[in-house]
């Protein structure tokens, strides 16, 4: 079966009590209905979603089924609907899915009206709040496909390719293709498969098979490629798979996919190896939202995110805490970024009242099957995670669940290792009485109380306060091993959430155990990396998070003259994590990471906000500094400035307007950070890094902006495809005539988009703001904002005009082809 886009000409209506609306459209999927809701300080979702409420949404599409569809198998495939969806065709219920992240298909042929208009309706029920600990989006936020095939056909799953061996440049690849026969009698068919890397001649295989009537058959083909182009992060070569189904010399069906030839090995002595080469994971945990466009899942957005993460030194992504989208995996395949794909955040015990624990027992196996079917041809996916911080993994029933999930995962895909991301602190406090836990959860749901996650929130608050000093000592206690060892025994790689202090000790206790830092705060990234350098059994570390995200409002923010809290009240919007903000702008931490990872030596200059000099900062375990790359602090003359210089050097020297401010030791022993204090005066800062012999090995500089102010509008691309899916990211800055950003000149900016596209999202990197992303005006944050323009379906020109008080307006044009 071949996939055809089914994303155009949908209408959506809100059916939430008190917020019902008439249908709007036509619109093009993917569509995140939550992003267009008004943020509500009193909504039950609260900080979890950044105060965006959920709701019930009905999506409707009308289409004519042509006569040539008669007798064919017709399916709709949904990559993701959030959540608890129900699908109807011409009023008949044809399927649905509780999970907001699992792919699923529904058959249409039984109720399809051939030659007539048909109506498909999708109801997404995201009204029970909260059901997640982060921003989810609502509705059909991932693409939809129409699958059409004959009665005798290749299954909707398509071919499954797996690398069996790699020896020098020779590779053996296994291709499994499932055939479906809805006819009454057995049919003999020929399956022809071609593997092609770009520019190479195809490698072919063919097999004849009998497919029983009303039955299935799986064809196994082995292909040996003598000069295989291997997929690696440095050279991510992909092969096209083309499978055709032939009967009596006629092609009756076909299917296409892509995959990469590569071998994975992992053990405690050698760590992770890809094609025999050792790899240490510089990992970024990420949520699925795309910042100012909400949960809209589009190829251009995911590719941009992966590109920026890789440019920042990350070589791996963990999809926290749900299966990654096809778009994200395509980007990782093409750009050479490794993936830990994760199943879910809850098993049987809820973390919030209405989460997926309600359906877990009934649906986990189908959700797991859907994830692996999606992942299996993606070379970027190197391991599966069966859960995140599951408290019941300390208990017999949870250990048994872990074993069942891991065993089923290996049955479905024996080519990849399995991990479980465990937080020992949660295991220590897990209530032992399962029946009592479930009764309490049910009572809380019935009463509308948010009590099911009480212990979870208490322990996170504790973690926030003691993570840096006390928690490593607590986690070294012997009881931690007792509470985790049985669950770890069920998986191939032990996922350590906030447990890096146990790496060495647990290796002595369990010499064969392979470990990964599956989640650790950004403030510890560099120290952990230095610590695991001589520990091959630790295959890497994933930071929380690599890319900031919506929800968990204010989690990682440093604030001024405020008390420390885990989450913040309205209007907290984003978590505020310190690597890359929600607009894709790199922050100080990401440059420190590169230095700590040995990818660059620096120096890198950053300055803590001078207009907050002298104010008391809150402490955050997830963020160490609010510094930005600027020496433009007009109005702050004479106030003390704290200047940070990051470098892998023996010493750094800081100069201000040609005069040496001071010299400080640097390098690993100093955490690659040297700090200087001086009174702010405009001009130029210069940081010089020197080796142990005093020789200069690098320099960095910052200049103050001139007093003039202008809008700088910079699109990342100037040409889009007229497919309704392509995006242009447009950076908007308040800067002087030389393009130096002025962070203290924030103001509201208006953008007007006309022509062959529309404005999809408009916002800034500010974590605490009352603003959303669906208006044509938005305030800048530290001099920056970001607009995202979505192409339409008709070729032409998009014009975007940007205005701000005190600035001359600016216009750009984008070509849509």
Among the ranges given (224-238, 431-445, 507-521), the one the predictor scored with the smallest mean pLDDT: 431-445
Instruction: Report how far apart, in Å, the C-alpha atoms of 505 and of each of 294, 420, 442, 476, 543 are.
Output: 42, 19, 40, 8, 22
Angle value at C-alpha 113, between 112 and 116, nearest 5 degrees: 140
Residue 537 has pLDDT above 60, yes or no: yes
Res. 455 pLDDT band, cuts 50 70 90: low
Predicted confidence at residue 429, as pLDDT, reads: 84
Cα–Cα distance between 333 and 327 in angstroms, integer? 10
| Tens digits of residue pLDDT in 24-72 | 999 999 999 999 999 999 999 999 999 999 999 999 999 999 999 999 9
SS3 content of the chain, % helix, strand, coil (to 5): 20, 40, 40
Asked if 337 and 363 touch (Cβ cutoff 8 Å), the reply is no
What is the DSSP secondary-structure string of 112-150?
--BTSEEEEEEEEE--SS---SS----BS-S-EEEEEE-
User: What does the pLDDT average to over 264-282?
Assistant: 97
Continuous segment of H or E residues that includes residue 656: strand 651-656
Asked if 159 and 175 touch (Cβ cutoff 8 Å), the reply is yes
Predicted confidence at residue 466, as pLDDT, reads: 56
User: Long-range CB contacts (< 8 A, 24+ apart) of 359-366?
Assistant: 359/98, 359/99, 363/98, 363/99, 363/102, 364/405, 365/408, 366/102
Q: Which domains does the chain have, with CATH numbers?
A: 2-150 (2.60.120.260), 154-259 (2.60.40.10), 265-576 (3.20.20.80), 599-629+635-703 (2.60.40.10), 710-816 (2.60.40.10)
Tokens of 200: 């190479």
Residue 468 has pLDDT above 70, yes or no: no
User: What does the pLDDT average to over 789-811?
Assistant: 98
The position carrying tokens 């608050």 is: 461
Q: Cβ contacts of residue 477 below 8 Å, gap of 6+?
A: none
The separation between CA 634 and the C-alpha centre of its own chain, rounded to angstroms, equals: 38
Residue 17: count of CB within 10 angstroms of its CB = 9
Asked if 790 and 758 touch (Cβ cutoff 8 Å), the reply is yes
Q: Cβ contacts of residue 469 below 8 Å, gap of 6+?
A: none
Q: Which stretches of 314-399 are assigned E, i.e. beta strand?
A: 316-319, 338-342, 381-388
User: Hey, is 598 helix, strand or coil?
Assistant: coil
Asked if 218 and 176 touch (Cβ cutoff 8 Å), the reply is yes
Strand 538-544 vs strand 514-521: parallel, antiparallel, or unpaired?
Answer: parallel
Helix-helix angle 299-311:326-335, to 10 degrees: 40
Cα–Cα distance between 13 and 120 in angstroms, integer? 14
Residue 456 has pLDDT above 70, yes or no: no
Which residue from 384, 373, 284, 379 is spatially nearest to 343, judged by alpha carbons?
A: 384
Which residue from 729, 730, 715, 720 is spatially nearest to 791, judged by alpha carbons?
A: 720
Q: Cβ contacts of residue 17 below 8 Å, gap of 6+?
A: none
Cα–Cα distance between 57 and 44 in angstroms, integer? 18
User: What does the pLDDT average to over 6-34?
Assistant: 96
| Tens digits of residue pLDDT in 101-138 | 999 999 999 999 999 999 999 999 999 999 999 999 99
Residue 516: count of CB within 10 angstroms of its CB = 30
Strand 85-89 vs strand 73-78: parallel, antiparallel, or unpaired?
Answer: unpaired
- Cis bond leading into 99, ω under 30°? no
Predicted confidence at residue 433, as pLDDT, reads: 81
Predicted confidence at residue 452, as pLDDT, reads: 55
Asked if 720 and 745 touch (Cβ cutoff 8 Å), the reply is no
- Give, rounded to a whole angstrom, the gap between the first and last alpha carbons of the chain: 29
Tokens of 193: 């498969």
Which residue from 282, 242, 277, 275 is spatially nearest to 258, judged by alpha carbons?
A: 242
Res. 448 pLDDT band, cuts 50 70 90: confident
| Tens digits of residue pLDDT in 613-669 | 999 999 888 999 999 999 999 999 999 999 999 999 999 999 999 999 999 999 999
User: What does the pLDDT average to over 769-779?
Assistant: 97
215, β-bridge pairs: 181
Length of the chain: 817
Predicted confidence at residue 593, as pLDDT, reads: 98
Res. 454 pLDDT band, cuts 50 70 90: low
Strand order in the sheet with 277-279: 264-267, 271-274, 277-279
Kindly report the average pLDDT of the chain as a whole number: 95
User: What does the pLDDT average to over 269-277?
Assistant: 96
As separate numbers, helices (DSSP H) first and strands (DSSP E) second, the chain gives 12, 45
Predicted confidence at residue 658, as pLDDT, reads: 97
Q: What 8-state DSSP symbol labels residue 704?
A: P
Which residue from 622, 382, 383 is spatially nearest to 525, judged by alpha carbons?
A: 622
| Tens digits of residue pLDDT in 590-606 | 999 999 999 999 999 99
Predicted confidence at residue 100, as pLDDT, reads: 98
The position carrying tokens 């091959």 is: 536
| Tens digits of residue pLDDT in 183-200 | 999 999 999 999 999 778
The 3-state secondary structure of 655-693 reads EECCEEEEEEECCHHHCCEEEEEEECCCCEEEEEEECCC
Q: Cβ contacts of residue 188 below 8 Å, gap of 6+?
A: 208, 209, 210, 211, 247
Cα–Cα distance between 732 and 762 in angstroms, integer? 10
Asked if 316 and 306 touch (Cβ cutoff 8 Å), the reply is no
Continuous segment of H or E residues that includes residue 566: none
Tokens of 541: 């570390």
Continuous segment of H or E residues that includes residue 368: helix 360-375
| Tens digits of residue pLDDT in 217-235 | 999 999 999 989 999 999 9
| Tens digits of residue pLDDT in 362-408 | 999 999 999 999 999 999 999 999 999 998 999 999 999 999 999 99
The position carrying tokens 């000592």 is: 473
User: Hey, is 457 helix, strand or coil?
Assistant: helix
Q: Cβ contacts of residue 129 below 8 Å, gap of 6+?
A: 43, 44, 45, 53, 54, 353, 354
Which residue from 229, 84, 69, 89 is spatially nearest to 151, judged by alpha carbons?
A: 69
Cα–Cα distance between 487 and 410 in angstroms, integer? 16
Asked if 210 and 217 touch (Cβ cutoff 8 Å), the reply is yes
- Dihedral angle over CA of 757, 759, 760, 766, nearest 10: 150
Q: What percent of the chain has pLDDT over 90?
A: 91
Asked if 235 and 256 touch (Cβ cutoff 8 Å), the reply is no
Cα–Cα distance between 522 and 625 in angstroms, integer? 11
**Would the CA dihedral through 139, 145, 149, 154 be positive or negative?**
negative
Asked if 242 and 143 touch (Cβ cutoff 8 Å), the reply is no
Predicted confidence at residue 13, as pLDDT, reads: 98
The position carrying tokens 């189908």 is: 366
Which residue from 539, 536, 570, 538 is spatially nearest to 554, judged by alpha carbons?
A: 570
Cα–Cα distance between 675 and 652 in angstroms, integer? 10
Predicted confidence at residue 472, as pLDDT, reads: 76
Q: Cβ contacts of residue 216 below 8 Å, gap of 6+?
A: 155, 178, 179, 180, 181
Residue 458 has pLDDT above 70, yes or no: no
Integer-rounded Cα Rg, in Å, for the chain is 27
Among the ranges given (23-32, 112-121, 466-475, 580-589), the one the predictor scored with the smallest mean pLDDT: 466-475
User: What does the pLDDT average to over 783-795?
Assistant: 98
């Amino acid at each position: 079966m071949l996939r055809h886009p089914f994303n155009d000409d949908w209408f959506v209506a809100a059916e939430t009590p008190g917020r019902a609306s008439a249908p709007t459209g036509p619109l093009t999927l993917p569509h995140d209905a939550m992003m267009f809701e008004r943020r509500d300080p009193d909504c039950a979702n609260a900080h979890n979603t950044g105060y965006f409420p959920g709701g019930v949404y009905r999506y409707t599409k009308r289409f004519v089924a042509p006569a040539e569809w008669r007798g064919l198998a017709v399916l709709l495939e949904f990559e993701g609907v959030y959540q608890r969806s129900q699908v109807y065709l011409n009023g008949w219920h044809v399927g649905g899915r509780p999970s907001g992240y699992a792919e699923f298909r529904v058959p249409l042929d039984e109720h399809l009206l051939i030659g007539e208009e048909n109506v498909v309706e999708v109801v997404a029920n995201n009204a029970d709040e909260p059901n997640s600990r982060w921003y989810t989006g609502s509705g059909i936020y991932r693409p939809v496909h129409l699958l059409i095939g004959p009665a005798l056909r290749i299954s909707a799953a398509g071919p499954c390719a797996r690398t069996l061996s790699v020896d020098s440049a020779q590779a053996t690849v296994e291709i499994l293709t499932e055939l479906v026969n809805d006819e009454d009698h057995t049919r003999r068919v020929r399956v022809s498969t071609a593997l092609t890397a770009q520019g190479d001649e195809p490698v072919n295989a063919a097999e004849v098979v009998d497919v029983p009537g009303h039955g299935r058959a799986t064809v196994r083909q082995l292909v040996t490629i003598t000069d295989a182009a291997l997929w690696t992060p440095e050279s991510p070569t992909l092969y096209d798979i083309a499978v055709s189904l032939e009967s009596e010399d006629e092609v009756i069906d076909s299917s296409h996919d892509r995959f990469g030839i590569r071998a994975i090995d992992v053990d405690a002595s050698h760590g992770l190896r890809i094609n025999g080469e050792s790899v240490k994971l510089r990992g970024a945990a990420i949520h699925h939202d795309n910042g100012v466009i909400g949960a809209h899942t589009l190829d251009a957005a995911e590719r941009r995110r992966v590109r920026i993460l890789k440019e920042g030194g990350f070589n791996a992504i963990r999809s926290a805490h749900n299966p990654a989208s096809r778009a994200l995996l395509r980007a990782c395949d093409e750009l050479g970024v490794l993936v830990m794909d994760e199943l879910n955040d809850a098993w049987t015990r809820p973390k919030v009242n209405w989460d997926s624990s309600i359906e877990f027992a009934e649906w986990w196996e189908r959700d797991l099957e859907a994830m692996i079917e999606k992942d299996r041809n993606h070379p970027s996916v190197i391991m599966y995670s069966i859960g995140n911080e599951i408290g019941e993994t300390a208990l017999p029933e949870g250990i048994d669940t872990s074993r069942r999930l891991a065993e089923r995962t290996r049955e479905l895909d024996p080519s990849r290792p399995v991990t479980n991301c465990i937080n020992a602190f949660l295991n220590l406090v897990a209530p032992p009485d399962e029946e009592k836990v479930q009764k309490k959860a049910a009572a809380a749901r019935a009463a509308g109380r948010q009590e099911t996650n009480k212990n979870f929130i208490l322990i996170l608050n504790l973690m926030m306060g003691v993570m840096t000093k006390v928690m490593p000592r607590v986690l070294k206690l012997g009881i931690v091993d007792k509470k985790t060892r049985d669950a770890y025994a069920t998986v191939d790689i032990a996922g350590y959430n906030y447990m890096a202090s146990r790496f060495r000790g647990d290796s002595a206790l369990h010499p064969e155990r392979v470990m990964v830092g599956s989640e650790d705060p950004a403030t510890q990234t560099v120290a952990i990396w230095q610590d695991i350098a001589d520990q091959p059994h630790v295959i890497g570390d994933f930071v929380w998070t690599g890319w900031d995200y919506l929800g968990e409002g204010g989690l990682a923010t440093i604030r001024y003259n405020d008390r420390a809290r885990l989450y913040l009240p309205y209007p907290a919007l984003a978590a505020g994590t310190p690597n890359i903000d929600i607009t894709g702008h790199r922050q100080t931490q990401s440059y420190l990471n590169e230095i700590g990872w040995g990818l660059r030596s620096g120096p890198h200059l950053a300055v803590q906000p001078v207009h907050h000099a002298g104010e008391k900062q809150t402490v955050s375990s997830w963020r160490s500094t609010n510094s930005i790359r600027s020496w433009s602090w007009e109005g702050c003359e004479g106030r003390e400035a704290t200047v940070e210089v990051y470098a892998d050097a023996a010493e750094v020297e800081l100069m201000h307007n040609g005069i040496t401010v001071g010299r400080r030791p640097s390098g690993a022993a100093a955490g690659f950070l040297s700090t200087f204090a001086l009174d702010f005066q405009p001009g130029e800062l210069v940081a010089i890094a020197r080796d142990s012999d005093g020789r200069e090995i690098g320099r960095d500089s910052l200049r103050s902006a001139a007093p003039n102010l202008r809008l700088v509008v910079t699109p990342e691309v100037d040409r889009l495809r007229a497919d309704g899916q392509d995006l242009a990211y447009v950076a908007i800055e308040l800067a002087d005539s030389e393009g130096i950003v002025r962070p203290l000149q924030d103001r509201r900016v208006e953008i007007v988009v006309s022509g062959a596209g529309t404005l999809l999202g408009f916002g800034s990197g500010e974590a605490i703001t009352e603003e959303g992303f669906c208006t044509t005006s938005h305030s800048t944050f530290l001099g920056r904002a970001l607009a995202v323009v979505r192409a339409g379906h008709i070729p032409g020109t998009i014009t975007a005009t940007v205005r701000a008080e005190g600035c001359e307006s600016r216009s750009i044009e984008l070509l849509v082809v």
